Amino acid sequence: MSRPEKGEYAEYYERYVGLVPETEIVAVLREQLTAVSDIFAAMPEAQGGFAYAPGKWTIKQLVGHLIDGERVFAYRALRFARRDPAPLEGFEQDHYVANADFDSISLADLVEELVLLRRANIIFFNNLNEEMWSRQGVASGAGVSVRALAFIMAGHIRHHLNILKERYLAQ
C-alpha cells in the first residue's frame, strides 16, 4: 500500500502522518501493540496519576485520550469505508478528557482497553480491499481517506508515546 497523499487529509494531520514513513500501515499498527504494552508493562499504578506540569494531563488521561482517538479515527474509517456520505463533526480532545474521569480507572484497564481497540482495528483494516482504502469522507470539515485515517492513527500513537517518553518518563 502506498502512503496517503497530502490531499487525502487536512494539513493539521501532517503532524501525525509525517511520523509514519513506512508504507505497510497494518504492520505499523500491529507493531504499536508491542510498543504500548512494553512502555506500560513495568509502570506502577501510582505513576498513572503523574502529570509533568500543572494543567497537563496525567499519564492515565493521556492513555484515555489515546483510547478516544483510536475510537474516533476508527469510526471515521468505518463510516467512509462503507461509503457513508454524512460529514462527521470533529471532537474536542480536552473536553473529552475533562469529562471522562480516566484517573478513576486503573492504568492496567486503560492500557488493556487501548490494546483491545487496536487489535479490533487491525482486523478491520486487514479486511479492507484496495478500493475501500481509497474511499473518502468529510470529518472536521475536511476530506480524509480511509488510508489516511490509518496513518493518522499510527502517527497519533507515535506522537503521544514520544511525549510520554520525553516529558513524563524523563523526570
DSSP 3-state of 56: coil
In this prediction, residue 170 has a pLDDT band, given cuts at 50, 70 and 90, of confident
Residue 2 predicted with pLDDT over 90: no
- DSSP codes, 72-118: HHHHHHHHHHTT--S-B----HHHHHHTT-GGGS-HHHHHHHHHHHH
Q: What does the block give as the cell for 59? A: 499519564
For cell 493521556, name the residue.
62
> How confident is the model over 8-33, as a mean pLDDT?
97
| pLDDT for residue 153 | 98
- Domains observed in the chain: 6-168 (1.20.120.450)
Burial label for 125, CB within 10 Å (0-12, 13-18, 19+), is buried
pLDDT at residue 148 is higher than 70 = yes
Tens of pLDDT along 69-79?
A: 999 999 999 99
> Per-residue confidence at 171, pLDDT binned at 50, 70, 90?
low
Distance (Å, whole) CA 20 – CA 23: 8
CA gap 40, 151 in Å, rounded: 23
Mean pLDDT of the chain: 97
Using 50, 70 and 90 to split pLDDT, how confident is the model at 1?
Answer: confident
Mean pLDDT of 110-122: 98
Range 73-95 average pLDDT: 97
